[in-house]
A and B are shown apart, each in its own frame.
Chain A
Amino acid sequence: MPALLEVRDLVVRYEPPVGPPVLAVDGLDLEIHEREAVGVVGESGSGKTTVLLATLGLLPPDARVVRGSVRWQGRDLLAMGERQRREVRGAEVSVVFQDPALALNPFRRVGPQIAEVIAAHERCSAAERRARTLQALHEVHLADPSAVHDAYPHELSGGQRQRIAIAQALVCRPALLLADEPTASLDTVTQAEIRALLVDLRRRTGLSVLLVSHELRSVAALADRVVVLHAGRAVEAGPAAQVFGAPVHPYTRALLAASPRALIADPTVPWVAAAGGAHGA
């Protein structure tokens, strides 16, 4: 089966007006197949967000793709015109960013911001857009879609905002969702809820996910396959259980060792076992 997204030998360099150029991505290969969730793990500066922005064609002006290709369903995204790329973004490949407080426009109500994504890609009436917006809000398990529809972002909690960002990303039914640290700005309980939502959405819609994160355990909770990124290179890749269970590369081992000790749950306490707590340390 051909890959949905195929990144080959991607090299991206930042060339700031002052200071030396920085190689952010250095010959990266990456594949995502249909219905697959791939986790890209790396610390800050590893180039993981750059990969995501390059895929969308949204690199900042001082970044340059030196070589390589990014193919979306066989079409070269990097060679595409801006107009075609715009048609892919949001409709076929969509994205959820780290901090929904920043990703949503604070000056506009939530509903129109979602409806606008539909309007950007499809021809349909305002009433239809509203209905689909409410449906999208419902699908991310927001309790009162019509109240949320008319709210401003600042009137909602962090968890609600991230659900809205997910609804906005998925409203046009893209095949691939890029998720950049989607839980990092949330508290632990809300993180768990958003992770559960992503798992649920994948199961229901067959969505593919590219999850980018520095937090190994949240990647382990969501991804089938893992790529460990270090200084712009993939130092280790493979099924999640293999990479986390039997890491080969010293960098992966160091990351694992630094990760907070596995949560210890007493298996005799029934509610922890039910929540999926594993027996560690």
Chain B
Amino acid sequence: MGPESGALLAVRGLTKVYPRRRGGRVEALRGVDLTVGRRRALALVGQSGSGKSTLARCVARLEEATSGEVWFEGVELLSRRGRALRPWRERLQLVLQDSATALDPRHDAAAIVREPLDALGRGTPAERRARAAELMEKVGLPAACAARRPRELSGGERQRLAIARALAVRPALLVLDEAFAGLDVSVQAQVARLLDDLRARDGLTYLHVSHDLALMAEVADDVAVLCEGRVVEAGPAQDVLRHPQHPHTRALVAAAASLPALAPQERAC
């Protein structure tokens, strides 16, 4: 079965079972289907334990799925291994939740962005340095940040740095696992704007993974709700948010709705 045309990423019947030592097993994913069109942003939303991070890791091949298919740019990835996978690994990059721990604390920002280029041996050292500077500018990191180490950067700057590094190898798809978590609200807005710009300019596609339905409704076009390893509801973000059908989706919306709406008079929307 191939993916429908126009889709950049199609996940079909993906399952992941973790064996437990004391017998028994945990079914983290129980047959997930997802389709992300080119230049779209899909958010996979679920509570902790719903299996959403497992899905992100299986798609990025950090973990091996138990069964199922992942079609990416018209190629089935799960049947490929090692060297045959390498070109696709570059086209699909993962940005993790806590960028502070995902970035090497001993390297400065410029070295972190350059690292994937160095590893692949792209161009001359001078070209790589130039490309790193260009990437940092692209994600809005001031040149002064180049010499700083991750802990000397703010949370927002670190997240921009993680995005810059992911972009170094010119990917088509970014998988963003809780990329907004732990950021100040104003920084969240900046990162969201950056992602929008990058999508318009470079034609990127995003797969977000998050527990925050309200936030995802703002940054994504489509939403899929994951509950106990299954997609229970999917559709355009605003539709899912306004007219949730599945009880689990309703619980997610209700949790967000239990917060007061902050709408000062002068904020006309």
The answer on direct contact between A and B (beta carbons under 8 Å) is yes
| Structural contact, B212 and A188, CB atoms closer than 8 A | yes
A214 — nearest CB in chain B belongs to which residue?
B184
| Structural contact, B269 and A261, CB atoms closer than 8 A | yes
| Structural contact, A262 and B263, CB atoms closer than 8 A | yes
Which chain B residues lie closer than 8 Å to A264 at the CB level?
A: 241-242, 261
The A-contacting residues of B in range 11-52, CB under 8 angstroms, are 47-49
Which chain A residues lie closer than 8 Å to B85 at the CB level?
A: none
Q: Does B214 contact A (CB under 8 A)?
A: yes
| Structural contact, B48 and A265, CB atoms closer than 8 A | no
| Structural contact, B212 and A246, CB atoms closer than 8 A | no
Q: Does A105 contact B (CB under 8 A)?
A: no
Q: Does B252 contact A (CB under 8 A)?
A: yes
| Structural contact, A157 and B257, CB atoms closer than 8 A | no
| Structural contact, A255 and B254, CB atoms closer than 8 A | no
Q: What string of 1s and 0s marks CB contacts (under 8 Å) between B190-226 and chain A?
A: 0000000000000000000001111100100000000
Q: Does B259 contact A (CB under 8 A)?
A: yes
Which chain B residues lie closer than 8 Å to A247 at the CB level?
A: 264
| Structural contact, A218 and B218, CB atoms closer than 8 A | no
| Structural contact, A217 and B48, CB atoms closer than 8 A | no
Which chain A residues lie closer than 8 Å to B86 at the CB level?
A: none
Interface size class, chain B = 35 or more
| Structural contact, A254 and B250, CB atoms closer than 8 A | no
Q: Does A258 contact B (CB under 8 A)?
A: yes
Partner of A281, one of B48, B253, B263: B263
Which chain A residues lie closer than 8 Å to B252 at the CB level?
A: 188-189
| Structural contact, B186 and A254, CB atoms closer than 8 A | yes
**Which of B184, B213, B218, B242 has the largest count of A CB atoms less than 10 A from its CB?**
B184
| Structural contact, A260 and B218, CB atoms closer than 8 A | yes
| Structural contact, B261 and A278, CB atoms closer than 8 A | yes
Stretch at the interface among A30-38, A49-57, A144-152, A190-198: A190-198
| Structural contact, A277 and B257, CB atoms closer than 8 A | yes
Partner of B186, one of A157, A184, A196, A258: A258
Which chain A residues lie closer than 8 Å to B263 at the CB level?
A: 262, 278, 280-281
Which chain B residues lie closer than 8 Å to A15 at the CB level?
A: none
Given contacts A261-B218, A262-B263, contact A187 B258 (CB under 8 A): no
CA distance A157 to B49 in the complex (A): 9
Q: Does B79 contact A (CB under 8 A)?
A: no
Partner of A265, one of B182, B257, B269: B257
The A-contacting residues of B in range 214-267, CB under 8 angstroms, are 214-215, 218, 241-243, 250-265, 267
CA distance A114 to B253 in the complex (A): 34
Given contacts A188-B212, A217-B262, contact A258 B189 (CB under 8 A): yes
| Structural contact, A277 and B258, CB atoms closer than 8 A | yes
| Structural contact, B264 and A244, CB atoms closer than 8 A | yes
**Which of B212, B252, B257, B265 has the largest count of A CB atoms less than 10 A from its CB?**
B257
| Structural contact, A275 and B260, CB atoms closer than 8 A | no
CA distance A189 to B184 in the complex (A): 20
Q: Does B66 contact A (CB under 8 A)?
A: no
Which chain B residues lie closer than 8 Å to A45 at the CB level?
A: 154
Q: Does B185 contact A (CB under 8 A)?
A: yes
CA distance A127 to B184 in the complex (A): 45
| Structural contact, B267 and A188, CB atoms closer than 8 A | no
CA distance A255 to B254 in the complex (A): 24
**Which of B47, B256, B258, B259 has the largest count of A CB atoms less than 10 A from its CB?**
B259
Can you list 11 A-B pairs, Cβ within 8 angstroms, ordered by A?
A: A190-B47, A191-B255, A214-B184, A217-B260, A220-B260, A245-B264, A264-B242, A271-B250, A275-B254, A279-B261, A280-B261
Residues on B close to A: CB < 8 A? 47-49, 154-155, 182, 184-189, 211-215, 218, 241-243, 250-265, 267, 269
For the complex of A and B, 8 pairs with smallest distance between CB atoms = A262-B261, A277-B257, A280-B261, A187-B211, A192-B255, A43-B184, A258-B186, A278-B261
